[in-house]
């Protein structure tokens, strides 16, 4: 039998999307009223007055709401989703500002009108008076704490955390060589092509709420809205339509709009919709990445790290609804494939009067990889050793797996790597890019007046974090298989890869399997799509559910065919005695047999009525059995599974314009067994593009007053095709995970993680001076050249 | 739609079908197509003409429908993503190429790429790789890193040639 696992089958999602028949959030709810928001123009201010009188005459106006109008729990701050003992001063926003605003873009007034044009007309007539307060912008200002973002948060400090494995400071003091290094990364953001959006319908007769939202967690939104509006969970449905990209920003929930829109829909008895525009997405969703790091590292003559002490500062923006996840990920995943000797890490998470910071693809790992890989390069430079050799000497060896880093990971579980082969990955990468031949190439290029450089970067990524996901598989009497899982999808191709798994497990054609994700009506228990977890978590759960359905089908068929279930197999949707196609009955028929009926409504049902035969002495549904061919299963692993990879790039820097051109970009990657290689490669391509973007182009240009100067696609330099490498050369390695039934690891974030580290290293190699801060624009590089010319 | 505003009659031919709508002068063509005509395959990613997701073919030329008012399109022949497939429902060469080459992930930017490339291949039926890159150089995609989109352009040209050769 052909296996779909491991095959690059074409995506089942595509036909619909290519015909323009996708249904994204703003494609729904043509009959809905439109919501628009008056947002703060100030980074930090007290609201002294809100005058809505000018808006009241606007044609088509339906309602205006301010904080004063919010009842009950809606008038409380939004939830702090991930509390942590180290998060001592967690602050979250109100759905509408309660007297104070803390970043440009914070919602102050909600307007509902007949359409979006009119809602914006009305919003434009509302006058909010502010008393501006000093704005805290950037980490330097946050650390100086001359001004406070929140009056009751001293030092702007949301939380401080320390983890230590061994006595790092003592190890560094005793080390033959010590380096002190500073590294900085600026802000970027997920920036999906589709922004946020939410549509709500209140059914007054049934007293039920139905919500469509462009989210990475429909069950999370459901629970949050139910709690805020005082509804039973059973009375709220949340449906994730087609989602135009997420990359992390849509895991945050509930957004202010996600509770306000359903509330207004219930109050008004009419459907209400909010569709975010591009400027709103820049100033009112979430960013990531900004961190400053100070490293002390002690090492021996061979470049082996004996002690590593990292202190860093994380800019969490105005509020911290997603907790300390990003800096915790940096502090743990920084270690990558290495044994650091003794390790100590401490971070401060600090408030600033800017947009909130929550995970963006990579989620703290790009910063960690930047710090660790730049440190490796600095050690190599100090000892005049090959950069690859220094890495090799610090690798965890395959024989040391599972490897306990002695820290607590972001899921609250021990940071134990389950499997991986880092020396083999590096050998593969060196071969792919021609590492050992580069010196000659560089020398020849220099002779022609060209500046070229090579860099590499390694990472280990904890994927498939818990607590759980589930899956449900049902075989219909048509033989078609309907599958549901609760987590959501934003373009990863889940409908294809999950169908591949089910088709293999059940022995049915791929085309007969249909997957539904992110619809609480179909599956109510789920966590969400983040941390490269969907394939590992829902994939495993769905495979287990399919195995249950298969066992049930064989049991029912065995009885009907009067053979042992052990002698049966399912081939192409037919249950048959092994190797005997003539003996078979269709899986749909088995579904008919499994469900004894009283009423016939079609031919298949006729065959299943209680008058169709069967042993009259036994109950129609045997004890311990249920009608139908179904399987339902959950997967809850003890720990995350750790994928790994290494990238290398060759760049050329223009001697005059300081422009950086990527000549080659190579990726070797190990995410365990590949379900669909083409889809994994697509994830890598997209991730690398975002890595390049964060290294060379994207930054959030806040001025000192907290105004985001580049809040549009004109000014935020998201790469076009001209900015990404023409070719990304990919090599796979497959080290199965022992932690799940499929042996797989996550692949979603991998491509982005080492981008800044690799390109910084390559630029450094081309230019001959240290590169410690990213992104690196041509003007940044130009300035660096001037600095290093002045101080050779 | 507005109550107080003056409405203007606009006649459009979209994907071969005649439409007549009454819209305020400020109604964007993208909003008119999506919300007045119900053709939601055309997507809006930035509303300032940079991302290209809303690209339609206006009298055959690729145009950003978010940068144009519906009233200024009066009398125009428009093709949206819904009108790209062959009359018998077969995916167009460009659509088929995207399916073949994994040229899309979330699919939100895709309609703008499909229309842009459809027009591009009319002008340059046999593009080299550099021409393929230039053809899609004005559209943003956040998912794919463009690699498979460029491959899709080349594949589309190939499918176009194959289909032309099969035609009697």
The CATH code of domain B93-166 reads 1.10.150.120
A762 domain residue, yes or no? yes
Q: Where does a domain end: A256, A284, A312?
A: A284
pLDDT at A607 over 80: no
**In contact, A753 and A288? CB cutoff 8 Å:** no
Contact A103, A354 (CB under 8 A): yes
Query: Which residue in B51, B82, B145 is closest to A19 by CB distance?
Result: B82
Looking at the fold, whether A549 and A669 belong to one and the same domain comes out as no
Q: Is residue A142 one of the residues assigned to a domain?
A: no
Contacts of B140 in chain A (CB under 8 A): 193, 713, 718, 720
Provide the token pair at A446.
Answer: 């220099």
The tally of domains found in chain A comes to 3
Q: What is the pLDDT of residues A338-354, one digit of tens each?
A: 999 999 999 999 999 99
Please, what is the Cα angle at A220 between A219 and A226, to 5 degrees? 85
In a domain, A145, yes or no: no
- Cβ burial A704-736 (10 Å sphere, 16+ → b, else e): eebbbeebebeebbbbbbebbbbebebbbbbbb
pLDDT in tens, A576-602: 999 998 889 999 999 999 998 888 888
Is residue A405 pLDDT above 70, yes or no? yes
| String of DSSP letters for A639-689 | S-EEEEEEEEEEEEE-TTT--EEEEEEEEEEE-BS-S-HHHHHHHHHHHHH
pLDDT tens-digit readout, A725-739: 999 999 999 999 999
Confidence tier at B1 by pLDDT (50, 70, 90): very low
Give every CB contact of residue A254 below 8 A, 6+ residues apart in sequence: A78, A79, A220, A221, A224, A225, A228
Measured distance CA(A350)–CA(A142) in Å, rounded? 6
Q: Which of B4, B46, B85 is facing A713, going by the closest CB pair? A: B46
What is the distance between the alpha carbons of residues A573 and A556, in angstroms, rounded to a whole number?
15
Q: Which of B5, B85, B147 sits opposite A19 (nearest CB)?
A: B85
How distant is the alpha carbon of residue A412 from its chain centre? 18
Q: What is the mean pLDDT of chain A?
A: 96
pLDDT per position as a tens digit, A90-137: 999 999 999 999 999 999 999 999 999 999 999 999 999 999 999 999
Q: What is the pTM of this model?
A: 0.96
ipTM of the complex: 0.97
- Mean pLDDT, range B17-38, rounded to an integer: 97
With H, G, I as helix, E, B as strand and everything else as coil, classify residue B14: strand
Dmax (CA) of chain A = 98
pLDDT for A25-57, tens place per residue? 999 999 999 999 999 999 999 999 999 999 999
Q: What pLDDT score was predicted for residue A599?
A: 84
Q: Is A115 on the interface with B (CB under 8 A)?
A: yes
Which residues sit opposite A640 in a β-bridge?
Answer: none
For the CA atoms of A15, A19, A24, A27, the dihedral, rounded to the nearest 10 degrees, stands at -150
Q: Please identify, among A255, A284, A313, the residue that sits at the C-terminal boundary of a domain.
A: A284
Do residue A118 and residue B2 have CB atoms under 8 angstroms apart? yes
Q: In this structure, what token pair is assigned to residue A280?
A: 């709103």
3-state helix, strand, coil in chain B (%, to 5): 40, 15, 45
Contact assignment for B143 to A30 by CB distance below 8 Å? no
- SS3 state of residue A61: strand
CA dist., res. A391 & res. A425, Å (int): 12
Q: pLDDT by residue (tens digit) across A612-649?
A: 667 788 888 888 889 999 999 999 999 999 999 999 99
User: Residue A38 half-sphere exposure, CB side, CA atoms within 13 Å?
Assistant: 25
The size of the A-B interface in CB pairs under 8 A is 183
Mean pLDDT, to the nearest integer, of A661-680? 96
Instruction: Please work out, in degrees rounded to the nearest 5, the angle formed at the alpha carbon of residue A558 by the alpha carbons of A556 and A561.
Output: 110
What was the pLDDT predicted at A695?
97
Query: Same structural domain for residues A344 and A443?
Result: yes
The alpha-carbon gap from A647 to the nearest alpha carbon of chain B, in Å, equals 16
Q: Alpha helices, DSSP H only, in A98-230? A: 116-124, 138-144, 168-173, 218-229
A398, A387 contact by CB (below 8 A):
no
Nearest to A721 among B2, B114, B150 (CB): B150
Confidence of residue A792 (pLDDT cuts 50, 70, 90): very low
Q: What's the pLDDT score for residue A2?
A: 62
| Domain around A125 | 14-133+190-284
Distance in Å, alpha carbon of A282 to nearest chain B alpha carbon? 11
Q: Which residues 14-43 of chain A have a CB within 8 Å of chain B?
A: 14-15, 17-24, 26-27, 30
Do A691 and A750 belong together in one domain? Answer: yes
Query: Given a cut of 80, is residue B3 above it in pLDDT?
Result: no
Report d(CA A241, CA A22) in Å as an integer: 9
Whole-angstrom distance, CA of residue A631 vs CA of residue A241: 25
Mark yes or no for CB contact B48/A685 under 8 Å: no
What CATH number should be reported for the domain holding residue A236?
Answer: 3.90.1170.50
Chain B, 77 to 106: residues with Cβ < 8 Å from chain A are: 80-82, 84-85, 91, 95, 98-100, 102, 104-106
Percent of chain A residues past pLDDT 90, beyond the cut: 93
For A557-587, give one letter per residue: b (16+ CB within 10 A) or e: bbbebebebeebbbebbbbbbeeeeeebbbb
Report yes or no on A344 lying in a domain.
Answer: yes
A790, pLDDT greater than 70: no
Sort out which chain B residues have CB atoms less than 8 A from A20's CB and list them: 39-42, 80-82, 84, 111
Q: Which B-chain residues 125-164 have CB contacts (< 8 A) with chain A?
A: 129, 133, 136-150
**B103: distance to nearest CA of chain A, Å?**
9
Neighbours of B4 (CB within 10 A): 11
User: What distance in Å separates residue B102's CA from the closest CA in chain A?
Assistant: 7
Count how many Cα atoms sit within 13 Å of the Cα of residue A386 in the half-sphere of its side chain.
Answer: 10
Of A430-434, A744-748, B9-13, B73-77, which range is least confident?
Answer: A744-748
- A741 shares a domain with A653: yes
CATH code, domain carrying A590: 3.30.365.10
Instruction: For residues A534 and A480, state if they share a domain.
Output: yes
pLDDT of A404 higher than 70 = yes
B contacts of A680 (beta carbons < 8 Å) = none
Alpha carbons A296 and A172: distance in angstroms, whole number: 8
- Whether residue A254 is preceded by a cis peptide bond, meaning omega within 30 degrees of 0, is yes
- A129, A47 contact by CB (below 8 A): yes
A771, burial (CB in 10 Å: exposed 0-12, middle 13-18, buried 19+): buried
Separation of CA A3 from chain center: 29
- Cβ-based neighbours of B79, under 8 Å, separated by 6 or more: B14, B15, B56, B57, B60, B115, B118
Q: Looking at the structure, tell me whether residues A490 and A573 fall in a common domain.
A: yes
Residue with tokens 């995350």: A640
C-alpha A155/C-alpha A194 separation (Å) is 37
Among A587, A620, A635, which residue terminates a domain? Answer: A635
Q: Given this model, what pLDDT does residue B2 score?
A: 44
As a whole number of angstroms, the distance between CA B88 and CA A627 comes to 42
Q: Name the residue with tokens 């939410």.
A: A198
pLDDT of A1 higher than 60: no
Mark whether A622 and A643 lie in a shared domain. no
Chain A stretch 137-176, residues whose beta carbon is closer than 8 A to a beta carbon of chain B: none
Same-domain status, A456 and A521: no
Look at residue A183 and tell me if it is in a domain: no
Note the pLDDT of residue A771.
Answer: 97
| Domain coordinates in residue numbering, chain B | 7-83, 93-166
Domain shared by A589 and A723, yes or no: no
Q: Is the pLDDT of residue A611 over 90?
A: no
pLDDT at residue number A601: 83
Q: In angstroms, rounded to a whole number, what is the distance separating the alpha carbons of residues A412 and A399? A: 26
- A331, pLDDT greater than 60: yes
Report how far residue B40's alpha carbon sits from residue A777's, in angstroms, rounded to the nearest whole number: 38
Query: Do A503 and A539 have their domain in common?
Result: yes
CATH topology of domain B7-83: Ubiquitin-like (UB roll) (3.10.20)
Q: A98 lies in a domain?
A: yes
Region A400-405: mean pLDDT is 96
Is the same domain home to A629 and A666?
no
Residue A493 neighbours by CB under 8 Å, 6+ apart: A11, A13, A676, A679, A682, B105
Burial string for A756-769 (b: 16+ CB within 10 Å, else e) reads bbbbbbbbbbbbee
Mean pLDDT of A216-232: 97
What is the pLDDT confidence band of residue A791, given thresholds at 50, 70 and 90?
low
Q: pLDDT tens-digit profile of A346-387?
A: 999 999 999 999 999 999 999 999 999 999 999 999 999 999
Q: Distance (Å) from the C-alpha of residue A789 to the closest C-alpha of chain B?
A: 36
A625, A649: one domain = no
Residue A79 has what DSSP assignment?
P
pLDDT band at B131 (very low <50, low <70, confident <90, very high): very high
């Amino acid at each position: 039998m052909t296996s779909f696992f491991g095959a690059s089958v074409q995506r089942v999602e595509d036909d619909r999307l290519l015909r323009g028949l996708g249904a994204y959030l703003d494609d729904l709810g043509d009959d809905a009223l439109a919501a628009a928001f008056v947002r703060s123009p100030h980074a930090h201010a007290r609201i002294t007055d809100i005058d809505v009188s000018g808006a009241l005459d606007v044609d088509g106006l339906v309602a205006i709401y301010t904080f004063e109008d919010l009842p009950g729990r809606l008038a409380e701050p939004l939830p702090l989703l991930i509390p942590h003992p180290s998060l001592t001063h967690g602050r979250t926003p109100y759905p509408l500002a309660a007297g104070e605003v803390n970043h440009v873009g914070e919602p102050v007034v909600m307007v509902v009108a007949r359409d979006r044009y009119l809602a914006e007309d009305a919003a434009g007539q509302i006058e909010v008076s502010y008393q501006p307060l000093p704005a805290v912008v950037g980490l330097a200002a946050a650390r100086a704490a001359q001004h406070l973002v929140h009056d009751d948060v001293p030092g702007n400090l949301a939380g401080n955390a320390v983890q230590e494995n061994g006595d790092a400071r003592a190890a560094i003091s005793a080390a033959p060589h010590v380096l002190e290094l500073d590294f900085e990364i600026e802000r970027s953001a997920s920036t999906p092509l589709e922004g946020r959006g939410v549509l709500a319908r209140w059914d007054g007769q049934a007293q039920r709420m139905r919500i469509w939202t462009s989210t990475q967690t429909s069950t999370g939104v459901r629970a949050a809205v139910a709690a805020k509006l005082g509804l039973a969970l059973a009375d709220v449905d949340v449906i994730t339509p087609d989602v135009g990209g997420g990359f992390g920003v849509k895991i945050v929930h509930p957004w202010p709009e996600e509770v306000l829109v359903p509330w207004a829909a219930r109050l008004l008895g009419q459907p209400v919709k909010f569709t975010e525009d591009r400027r709103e997405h820049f100033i009112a969703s979430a960013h990531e990445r900004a961190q400053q790091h100070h490293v002390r590292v002690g090492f021996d003559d061979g470049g082996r790290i004996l002690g590593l002490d990292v202190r860093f500062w994380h800019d969490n923006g105005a509020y911290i609804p997603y907790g300390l996840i990003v800096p915790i990920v940096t502090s743990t995943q920084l270690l990558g494939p290495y044994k650091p000797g003794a390790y100590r890490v401490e971070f401060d998470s600090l408030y600033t009067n800017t947009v909130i910071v929550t995970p963006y693809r990579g989620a703290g790992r790009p910063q960690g990889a930047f710090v660790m890989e730049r440190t490796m390069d600095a050690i190599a430079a100090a000892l005049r050793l090959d950069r690859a050799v220094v890495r090799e000497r610090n690798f965890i060896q395959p024989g040391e797996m599972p490897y306990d880093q002695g820290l607590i990971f972001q899921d609250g579980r021990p940071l134990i790597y389950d499997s991986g082969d880092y020396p083999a990955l590096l050998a593969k990468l060196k071969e792919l890019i021609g590492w050992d031949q580069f010196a000659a190439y560089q020398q020849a290029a220099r002779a022609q007046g060209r500046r070229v450089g090579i860099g590499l970067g390694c990472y280990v990524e904890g994927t498939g974090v818990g607590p759980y996901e589930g899956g449900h598989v049902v075989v219909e009497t048509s033989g078609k298989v309907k599958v549901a899982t609760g987590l959501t999808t934003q373009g990863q191709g889940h409908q294809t890869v999950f169908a591949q798994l089910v088709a293999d497990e059940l022995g049915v054609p791929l085309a007969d399997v249909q997957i539904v994700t992110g619809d609480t009506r179909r599956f109510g228990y789920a966590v969400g799509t983040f941390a490269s977890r969907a394939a590992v978590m829902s994939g495993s759960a769905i495979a287990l559910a399919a195995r249950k359905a298969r066992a049930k089908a064989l049991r029912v068929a065995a009885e009907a065919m009067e053979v042992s279930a052990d002698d049966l197999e399912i081939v192409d949707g037919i249950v048959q005695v092994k190797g005997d196609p003539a003996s078979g009955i269709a899986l749909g028929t088995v579904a008919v047999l499994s469900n004894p009926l009283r009423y016939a409504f079609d031919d298949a049902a006729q065959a299943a009525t209680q008058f169709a035969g069967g042993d009259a002495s036994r109950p129609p549904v045997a004890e311990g059995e249920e009608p139908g061919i179904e399987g339902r299963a959950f997967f809850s692993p003890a720990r995350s599974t750790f994928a790994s990879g290494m990238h290398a790039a060759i760049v050329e820097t223009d001697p005059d314009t300081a422009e950086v051109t990527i000549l080659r970009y190579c990726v070797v990657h190990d995410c365990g067994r590949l379900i669909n290689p083409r889809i994994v490669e697509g994830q890598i391509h997209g991730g690398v593009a975002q890595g390049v973007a964060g290294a060379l182009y994207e930054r959030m240009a806040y001025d000192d007053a907290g105004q985001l100067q580049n809040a549009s696609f004109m000014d935020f330099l998201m790469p076009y095709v001209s900015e990404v490498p023409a070719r990304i050369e990919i090599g796979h390695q497959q080290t199965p995970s022992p932690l799940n039934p499929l042996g797989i690891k996550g692949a979603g974030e991998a491509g982005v993680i080492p981008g800044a580290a690799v390109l910084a290293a390559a630029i450094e190699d081309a230019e001959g001076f240290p590169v410690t801060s990213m992104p690196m624009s041509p003007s940044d590089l130009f300035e660096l050249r001037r600095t290093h010319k002045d101080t050779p | 739609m507005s109550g107080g505003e003056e409405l203007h009659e606009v006649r459009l031919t979209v994907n071969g079908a005649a439409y007549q709508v009454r819209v305020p002068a400020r109604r964007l063509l993208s909003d008119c197509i999506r919300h007045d005509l119900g053709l939601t395959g055309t997507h809006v990613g930035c509303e300032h003409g940079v991302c290209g997701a809303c690209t339609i073919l206006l009298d055959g030329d690729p145009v950003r429908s978010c940068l144009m008012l519906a009233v200024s399109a009066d009398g125009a022949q428009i093709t949206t993503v819904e009108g790209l497939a062959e009359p018998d429902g077969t995916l167009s060469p460009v659509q088929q190429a995207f399916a073949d080459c994994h040229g899309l992930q979330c699919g939100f930017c895709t309609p703008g790429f499909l229309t842009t490339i459809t027009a591009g291949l009319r002008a340059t039926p046999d593009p080299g790789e550099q021409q393929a890159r230039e053809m899609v150089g004005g559209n943003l995609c956040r998912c794919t890193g463009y690699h498979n989109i460029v491959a899709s352009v080349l594949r589309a040209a190939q499918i176009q040639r194959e289909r032309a050769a099969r035609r009697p």
